[in-house]
């Protein structure tokens, strides 16, 4: 569910980030918004559903992480609001000042959101100062070093934040290239090609940094060798991206950046298993899938309704995406 | 009261009160849009289609604001009420997560289809989309009420060895007696809001002599639905909900009515100011014996007053509870009076020329919002001092490790953010109302950016 959110909302966040680089005028910015317009709020609903599923499956993890990450979450909420307002209200008034204001709001909040989401993943990998009851509270930053009592932002989480920014920039550029044509499409491809270098560099850097921060990450790979498939997927998708976008094949390029996202998040989750939220204070305080999960009864009932509900949701989404498929244009009959 | 606790409470109260401005209107409008759409299909009258489209746009703006302000609600269970979430998550998270997968996806996907798919799919699918949006929004409300009803009247749970509540009966959670009547009462309230808004706009169009055709259409439907909903809200929904409060939360009932001392043949107080220190009601105007009859169906029955219960179980903000309850009931009575007269005039064919009545209808639209809000405050302040009635006290439920300073930081942030949202909302509503249904034609509703079709881009694009 979390991965679905990142994939889907990921490209419209990316679209927001590159909005200012790719689209040069009002007409082109309208196009970008039109490419994500019909689907962005549905994508945002995935965030809600993921939050709900987290609360449902691991109440303690939800309670602990949401209150511990209090400040960044509040900021994320405000950014999500600004972004929602920016996307939806831009077209309501015909005035260039109004447009530039909402374009800026849209791009600015998308950019910060990407960094914050990345930093959140960084925090989860690095660990947080959990106490014996499974709660913690983190300031936004302390001294940017990895102490047992770190802030939300330290050098490591900022690095992961920038990695997320690069990832979503590439992903968003692929989506825009896929949904548009002409100048704007070419520019999106160029953005993808350039930011790919940054992505490559950052991937290597953060891989090294992650192994430094969490040396035990490799244990699971020794225990379950099939896990090596995951880094192989990440590497393959990383190579596939420039391969496809230099050949102007936007669909495979978009799929490779999707595979990259699934791979990196999956790899992080795999190396942590069974820990959900590691404690930087005392490893015994870490929240694992065993001590944070909900009661057996509600889990078994939940599996039934959750499968039914998700199947329905995927049904609507497939329908909606097919309905709004194809390149966007501003012509009368174009979508 | 601990100051961090008060700020966390104010935080939730402020954000949820603001949030509920929007869903009550969308849930109230959704069935009315389905009715407009049905009349359009039945009669083939294009004007009803335009009316449906117009209200769908109002709906969509409200839906957007509802989603934007709703996300923080789900987050706050974890951020500000972590201990409660840990305690109750094993039960209520089922309802909240079900809202996500069953209602939200339904509502948001079909809203997209309704707004952008009319030309491509034709009238019947468009009707279906409207209907599914209605189902989605009402289903969404149900899951939220199930959550709240469990906090008001916990059922279907057991306390596990670790001291946390765990679900042990899915169906009793879902069909909690309390949830059913609270839901019915709540949806009646939403319908009153929706229909009053439709009628008020109709009255505005007639009085200001613009789009009068649509003014009459909105007035007729609005007044009829508002009349039915207002009567229904008193009986059976309000009556039955009140009886549940009397049965399971007698302390709350006594506090709502300002009944400090047990009494046989207890009166219903219409006006009066409670004085908690001296435990009496100042300047009361009352109907003798009415309360006994309403709660026990006997004029002489004894109703228990607050003196029968230990002070630490009294709702901690008694005057607020008392006033909100009286505001809700008082406004509900006024709604019945207004809509009965308006419906009578409509029946005699005199409503459209009765300017005094149109003025009343036009100016009355804020009051259903106030009544709904007051009703919710009654329910939630009445639940105090418990966060889960009888099981967990509110001071045990908040995130004690999030300091008062941090909570105030985000509360002020939300206040600022919502001020901006309010300005934008009013601006957009005003524009839509001034455009009115005549402004819309089928070709403008096509896939576009966001809610409103992008008119400028068409000019540039073609």
Tell me the pLDDT tens digit for each residue of A154-171.
888 888 888 888 888 888
Q: Are A136 and A68 in contact (CB under 8 A)?
A: yes
Find the range with the poorest average confidence among A268-277, B373-382, B428-437: A268-277
Determine, for residues A45 and B99 on separate chains, whether the beta-carbon distance falls below 8 Å: no
Residue A167 in tokens:
């990832």
Q: For residue B269, list its beta bridge partners.
A: B286
- Whose tokens are 């409660």? That residue is B84
Say how far apart CA B263 and CA B290 lie, in whole Å: 12
Task: Indicate the residue of A42, A62, A70 with minimum beta-carbon distance to B112.
Answer: A42
Residue B191 lies in a domain: yes
pLDDT for residue A29 is more than 90: no
Say how far apart CA A125 and CA A133 lie, in whole Å: 20
Say how far apart CA B395 and CA B383 lie, in whole Å: 13
Q: Are A74 and A218 in contact (CB under 8 A)?
A: no
Q: CA torsion sign, A179 to B116 to A311 to B96? A: positive
Residue A283 lies in a domain: yes
The pLDDT of B368-377, averaged and rounded, is 95
User: Cβ-count burial of A251 within 10 angstroms (0-12 exposed, 13-18 middle, 19+ buried)?
Assistant: exposed
SS3 B157: strand
User: In total, how many domains does chain A have?
Assistant: 1
Residue B423: CB partners within 8 Å, gap ≥ 6?
Answer: none
Task: Indicate the residue of A34, A85, A137 with minimum beta-carbon distance to B68.
Answer: A85
- Please indicate if any CB of chain A lies within 8 Å of the CB of B103: no
Tell me the pLDDT tens digit for each residue of B245-256.
988 998 999 889
User: In total, how many domains does chain B have?
Assistant: 1
Residue A195 lies in a domain: yes
When scoring A61, A330, A332, A334 by the number of chain B Cβ atoms within 10 A, the one with the most, hence best to mutate, is A330
The pLDDT of A301-329, averaged and rounded, is 74
Say how far apart CA B14 and CA B7 lie, in whole Å: 10
Residue B121 lies in a domain: yes
B444 CB neighbours in chain A (<8 A) are none
| Residue B207, min C-alpha distance to chain A (Å) | 27
Say how far apart CA A4 and CA A10 lie, in whole Å: 9
- Please indicate if any CB of chain A lies within 8 Å of the CB of B456: yes
Residue B140: CB partners within 8 Å, gap ≥ 6?
Answer: B23, B99, B103, B104, B107
- Whose tokens are 């966390």? That residue is B8
Tell me the pLDDT tens digit for each residue of A46-95.
677 777 777 887 888 888 888 888 888 888 888 888 877 777 777 777 77
pLDDT score of A8? 54
| Residue A2, min C-alpha distance to chain B (Å) | 13
CB-based contacts of B120-123 (< 8 A; 24+ apart in sequence):
B120/A323, B123/B40, B123/B41
- Please indicate if any CB of chain B lies within 8 Å of the CB of A71: yes
In which domain, by residue range, is A166 found? 2-213+274-323
- Whose tokens are 């990345």? That residue is A118
β-strand pairing of B268-275 with B263-264? unpaired
Question: In chain A, pLDDT over 90 holds for what percent of residues?
Answer: 0
Tell me the pLDDT tens digit for each residue of B280-310.
888 888 888 888 888 888 888 888 888 899 9
Residue A240 lies in a domain: no
pLDDT band at B90 (very low <50, low <70, confident <90, very high): confident
Give B255-300 as a DSSP string: HHHT--S-EETPPEEEEEEEETTTTEEEEEEEETTHHHHHHHS-TT
Buried b (16+ CB within 10 A) or exposed e, A97-127: eebeebbebbbbbbbbbbbbbbbbbbbbbbb
Residue A230 in tokens:
């995951």
pLDDT score of A16? 55
Determine, for residues A92 and B90 on separate chains, whether the beta-carbon distance falls below 8 Å: no
pLDDT score of A151? 75
In which domain, by residue range, is B434 found? 3-262+304-461
Distances (CA, A) of B120 to A35, A179, A335, B37, B423: 18, 20, 11, 17, 35
pLDDT score of A42? 58
Find the range with the poorest average confidence among A257-271, B15-29, B131-145, B184-198: A257-271
Residue A245 lies in a domain: no
Say how far apart CA A213 and CA B321 lie, in whole Å: 53
Alpha helices in chain A (DSSP H): 2-22, 26-57, 59-68, 70-89, 96-126, 155-179, 183-213, 219-223, 229-246, 250-272, 296-323
Determine, for residues B109 and A42 on separate chains, whether the beta-carbon distance falls below 8 Å: yes
The radius of gyration of chain B from alpha carbons, rounded to an integer in Å, stands at 23
Chain CA centroid to CA B176, Å: 19
Q: Are A152 and A123 in contact (CB under 8 A)?
A: yes
Residue B158 lies in a domain: yes
B453 CB neighbours in chain A (<8 A) are 91
B93 CB neighbours in chain A (<8 A) are 52, 55-56, 59, 62, 294
Q: Are B205 and B214 in contact (CB under 8 A)?
A: yes
- Whose tokens are 């694992």? That residue is A288
Residue A335 lies in a domain: no
Residue A238 lies in a domain: no
Determine the longest span between alpha carbons in chain B, in angstroms.
78
pLDDT band at B342 (very low <50, low <70, confident <90, very high): very high
- Please indicate if any CB of chain B lies within 8 Å of the CB of A242: no
When scoring B4, B64, B87, B89 by the number of chain A Cβ atoms within 10 A, the one with the most, hence best to mutate, is B89
Tell me the pLDDT tens digit for each residue of A190-244.
787 788 888 888 888 888 877 777 777 777 777 887 878 888 887 878 787 877 8
Q: For residue A141, list its beta bridge partners.
A: A153
- Please indicate if any CB of chain A lies within 8 Å of the CB of B410: yes
The pLDDT of B409-413, averaged and rounded, is 93
pLDDT band at B325 (very low <50, low <70, confident <90, very high): very high
pLDDT band at A138 (very low <50, low <70, confident <90, very high): confident
Chain CA centroid to CA A332, Å: 34
pLDDT score of B423? 92
Residue A23 lies in a domain: yes
pLDDT score of B335? 95
pLDDT score of B102? 85
Determine, for residues B86 and A88 on separate chains, whether the beta-carbon distance falls below 8 Å: no
Packing angle between helix A2-22 and helix A26-57, nearest 10 degrees?
160
pLDDT band at A245 (very low <50, low <70, confident <90, very high): confident
């Amino acid at each position: 569910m979390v991965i679905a959110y990142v994939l889907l909302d990921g490209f419209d966040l990316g679209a927001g980030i590159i909005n200012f680089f790719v689209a040069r005028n009002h007409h082109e910015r309208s196009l970008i918004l039109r490419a994500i317009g019909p689907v962005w709020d549905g994508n945002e609903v995935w965030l809600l559903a993921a939050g709900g599923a987290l609360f449902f499956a691991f109440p303690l993890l939800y309670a602990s992480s949401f209150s511990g990450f209090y400040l960044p979450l509040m900021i994320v909420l405000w950014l999500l609001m600004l972004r929602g307002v920016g996307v939806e209200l831009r077209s309501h008034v015909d005035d260039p000042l109004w447009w530039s204001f909402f374009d800026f709001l849209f791009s600015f909040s998308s950019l910060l959101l990407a960094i914050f989401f990345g930093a959140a993943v960084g925090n989860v990998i690095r660990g947080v100062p959990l106490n014996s009851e499974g709660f913690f509270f983190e300031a936004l930053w302390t001294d940017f070093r990895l102490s047992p009592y770190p802030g939300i932002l330290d050098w490591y989480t900022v690095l992961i934040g920038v990695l997320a920014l690069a990832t979503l920039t590439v992903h968003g550029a692929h989506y825009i290239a896929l949904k548009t044509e002409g100048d704007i499409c070419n520019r999106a491809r160029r953005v993808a090609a350039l930011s790919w270098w940054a992505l490559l560099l950052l991937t290597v850097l953060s891989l090294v940094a992650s192994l430094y921060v969490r040396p035990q990450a490799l244990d699971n790979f020794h225990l379950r060798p099939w896990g090596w498939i995951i880094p192989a997927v990440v590497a393959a998708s990383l190579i596939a991206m420039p391969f496809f976008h230099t050949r102007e094949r936007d669909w495979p390029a978009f799929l490779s950046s999707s595979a990259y996202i699934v791979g990196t998040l999956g790899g992080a989750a795999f190396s942590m298993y069974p820990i959900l939220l590691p404690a930087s204070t005392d490893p015994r305080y870490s929240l694992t899938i065993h001590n944070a999960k909900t009661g057996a009864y509600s889990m078994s009932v939940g599996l039934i309704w959750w499968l039914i509900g998700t199947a329905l949701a995927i049904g609507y989404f497939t329908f909606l995406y097919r309905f709004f498929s194809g390149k966007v244009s501003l012509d009368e009959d174009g979508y | 009261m601990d100051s961090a606790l008060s700020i966390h409470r104010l935080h939730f109260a402020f954000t949820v009160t603001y949030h509920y401005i929007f869903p009550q209107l969308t849930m109230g409008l959704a069935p009315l849009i389905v009715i407009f759409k049905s009349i359009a299909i039945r009669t083939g009258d294009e004007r009803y289609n335009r009316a449906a489209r117009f209200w769908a746009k109002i709906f969509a703006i409200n839906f957007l604001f509802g989603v934007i302000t709703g996300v923080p609600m789900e987050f706050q269970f974890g951020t500000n009420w972590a201990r409660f979430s840990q305690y109750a998550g094993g039960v209520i998270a089922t309802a909240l997560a079900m809202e996500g997968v069953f209602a939200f996806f339904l509502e948001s996907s079909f809203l997209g289809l309704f707004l952008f798919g009319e030309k491509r799919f034709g009238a019947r699918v468009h009707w279906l989309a409207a209907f599914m949006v209605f189902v989605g929004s009402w289903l969404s409300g149900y899951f939220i009420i199930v959550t709240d009803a469990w906090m008001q009247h916990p059922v279907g749970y057991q306390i596990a060895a670790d001291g946390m509540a765990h679900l042990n009966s899915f169906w009793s959670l879902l069909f909690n007696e309390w949830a059913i009547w609270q839901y019915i009462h709540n949806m009646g309230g939403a319908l009153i809001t929706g229909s009053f808004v439709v009628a008020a706009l109709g009255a505005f169009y007639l009085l200001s002599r613009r789009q009068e055709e649509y003014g009459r259409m909105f007035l007729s439907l609005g007044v009829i639905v508002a009349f039915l909903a207002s009567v229904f809200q008193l009986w059976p929904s309000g009556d039955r909900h009140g009886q549940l409060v009397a049965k399971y939360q007698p302390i709350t009932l006594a506090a709502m009515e300002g009944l400090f001392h047990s009494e046989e043949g207890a009166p219903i107080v219409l006006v009066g100011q409670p004085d908690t220190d001296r435990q009496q009601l100042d300047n009361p105007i009352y109907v003798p014996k009415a309360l006994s009859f309403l709660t026990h169906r006997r004029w002489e029955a004894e109703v228990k007053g607050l003196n029968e219960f230990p002070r630490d179980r009294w709702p901690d903000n008694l005057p607020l509870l008392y006033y909100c309850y009286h505001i809700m009931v008082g406004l509900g009575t006024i709604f019945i009076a207004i809509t009965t007269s308006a419906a009578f005039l409509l029946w005699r064919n005199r409503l459209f020329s009765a300017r005094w009545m149109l003025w009343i209808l036009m100016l009355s639209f804020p009051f259903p919002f106030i009544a709904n809000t007051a009703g919710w405050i009654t329910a939630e302040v009445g639940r105090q001092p418990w966060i889960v009635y009888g099981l967990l006290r509110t001071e045990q439920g908040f995130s004690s490790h999030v300091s008062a300073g941090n909570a105030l930081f985000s509360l002020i942030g939300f206040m600022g953010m919502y001020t901006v949202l309010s300005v934008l909302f009013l601006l957009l509503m005003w524009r839509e109302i001034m455009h009115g249904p005549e402004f819309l034609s089928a070709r403008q509703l096509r896939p576009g950016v966001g809610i409103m079709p992008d008119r400028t881009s068409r000019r540039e694009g073609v």
